[in-house]
Amino acid sequence: MKATTPDQGSSPAIDIVDLAFRWREEGAWLLDIERFTVARGERLFIQGPSGSGKSTLLNLLGGVSVPGRGSLRVLGHDLARLGGSERDRFRADHVGFIFQLHNLLPYLSMVDNVILPCRFSALRRERARERSDSVEAEARRLLRQLDLGGEMLNRSVTLLSVGQQQRVAAARALIGSP
């Protein structure tokens, strides 16, 4: 099944109808959302206590997990109807996660950690090249904007402070304008 590209201009960024999620088939529902819509360009801040479902919702929106029931449309794509590899492609093209624990690869340089999403998505690679001469140049530009330029670019990510690692993760999430 090949995903078609919906009309990007008219659909909301996120449209959830009667969504429910649980980890096991016989387990309790962890999320149960009757209706939730986010318009394109709208900004949203989600907060709640530990265990309230924030990360679970983000995993659903990124196609990492699928709902037990309901409709979950992101950028016009019904993620619940996509297969695993189609969700992976959607996530690579359109989603930029900044993980709480950064998930930087210790054997990659700062620049290589930032350009990693472009290795999985031709669309993000193309968008990065549109902003700069190359994907690497775009990674360096993003890192400079986050005060991680100059000789610091040669530093191993394992030698960075927690805040610096978070900024590398932010640049990785932003490259290619997901």
Confidence bin at 174 (pLDDT 50/70/90): very high
- pLDDT recorded at residue 96: 83
Q: How far is 124 from 95, CA to CA, in rounded Å?
A: 10
Q: How far is 120 from 134, CA to CA, in rounded Å?
A: 16
- pLDDT recorded at residue 55: 87
Please tell me whether the overall predicted TM-score, pTM, comes out greater than 0.75 for this model: no
pLDDT tens digits, one per residue of 136-162: 999 999 999 999 988 888 788 999 999
- pLDDT recorded at residue 160: 92
- pLDDT recorded at residue 8: 53
- Tokens representing 130 are 């549109």
pLDDT higher than 90, residue 14: yes
pLDDT higher than 60, residue 83: yes
Q: Which residues of 55-66 are buried (b: 16+ CB within 10 A; e: fewer)?
A: ebbeebbbbbbb
pLDDT tens digits, one per residue of 35-56: 999 999 898 888 999 888 888 9
Residue with tokens 């805040």: 163
Q: How far lies 45's CA from each of 42, 48, 53, 88, in Å?
A: 10, 10, 14, 25
- Tokens representing 2 are 């090949």
Q: What is the CB neighbour count within 10 angstroms for residue 178?
A: 17
Q: How far lies 173's CA from each of 103, 124, 167, 168, 176, in Å?
A: 11, 11, 10, 9, 8
Higher local confidence (pLDDT), 71 or 9: 71
- pLDDT recorded at residue 104: 93
